[in-house]
Amino acid sequence: MTSITNSEQEDNDELFEHFRFMASKGQEPLRVDKFLMNFIENATRNKIQQAAKDGHVWVNETVVKSNYKVKAGDEVKVLFEHPPHEHLLVPEDIPLEIVYEDDSLLVVDKPSGMVVHPGHGNYSGTLINALIFHFENLPTNSNERPGLVHRIDKDTSGLLVIAKTEAAMTHLAKQFFDKTSEREYIALVWGNVEDDEGTVVGNIGRNPKNRLQMHVFPEGEDGKEAVTHYKVLERLGYVTLVSCKLETGRTHQIRVHMKYIGHTLFNDERYGGDKILKGTTFTKYRQFVENAFKVLPRQALHAKTLGFVHPVTGEKMKFDSEVPVDMEACIDKWRNYTSSSS
């Protein structure tokens, strides 16, 4: 039996753990749920059967039920919505940048590179590990994640609100569900965005050709409703600085919507923004872009503004986070390049 495992964590909506196995030539026919139990550490049969029920088990690229008999030479894939190592939630003394705190909630400014919640390959160093060290008895959300009301990607920096009580969790989660919370992001995107402002509407779901990416389904038959309002802040030649306000909060929403309208985020590796998508063929320009990538080794996205109604006082609260040093340095490089080229 030979096996290959792949894993990837989605940081903003769901956790996924992806495994792929090749059945050896000597493999006797065996139910796929039993087959997978033999090779995935800590995975229960119930978890595998649930994955099959959800359409997340494939044999030779075809979705199968849990009673499918695996045969010699079959390629078996499974996608778990939560990792089978969920019990490995360990408090860690990780500093948090807290911009506001009271008895009901706190607002933190997450640095880029910090995963929000543990998953395969990221069992330590996450925001959740830090939260459960610094705060006791945090309420859990529907996915059993302490304190989390909403999420942002690992390499996105910026503001998150954390609930400290069950009542705050319920109240804040409803605001996000009802689209009454305020969330503004700053993004640097490839290309000169034609309109000064606009709205992108298009359902977002997992890309059927690449499960690690999200995809826009414009006809609305697949995926979940997603609406992004954008406004141009500064035009910098081959890139544009934009403000994006979310009506909905889908996985990779801004990253996917901006790519959909032809303006992939700068240095967004997952969606191709780590290539030169606009500009000249001059060697000097290529070197400039490579240097800009080094200054900002992540997608150019920052959760700058967060607004909501306090769950106890009813007060409207609004917080603002400065654009971090790495992103500001990249923007400044483009400003200098544009001014020297004009």
Among 112, 62, 115, 123, residue whose Cα is nearest residue 89: 123
3-state secondary structure of 166: helix
Q: Are 213 and 261 in contact (CB under 8 A)?
A: no
Which is catalytic among the residues 13, 153, 155, 274?
153
User: Where are the alpha helices (H) located in 234-275, listed in sequence order?
Assistant: 253-260
H or E element: which one contains 339?
helix 325-341
Question: What's the token pair of residue 210?
Answer: 């690449």
What does DSSP say about strands 301-309 and 157-163: parallel, antiparallel, or unpaired? parallel
Tell me how far apart the alpha carbons of residues 167 and 170 are, in angstroms, rounded to a whole number: 5
33 carries an active-site annotation: no
3-state secondary structure of 187: strand
Q: For the chain, what is the radius of gyration of the CA atoms?
A: 22
Question: Phi/psi at 186 (nearest 5 deg)?
Answer: -110, 130
Among 14, 12, 152, 148, residue whose Cα is nearest residue 79: 14
**285-to-122, 264, 335 alpha-carbon distances in Å:** 36, 19, 14
Question: What's the token pair of residue 103?
Answer: 């008895």
What does DSSP say about strands 210-217 and 157-163: parallel, antiparallel, or unpaired? unpaired
3-state secondary structure of 206: strand
User: Where are the alpha helices (H) located in 111-224, listed in sequence order?
Assistant: 127-134, 166-177
Q: Are 3 and 22 in contact (CB under 8 A)?
A: yes
What does DSSP say about strands 197-201 and 227-236: parallel, antiparallel, or unpaired? antiparallel
3-state secondary structure of 110: strand
Active site members = 153
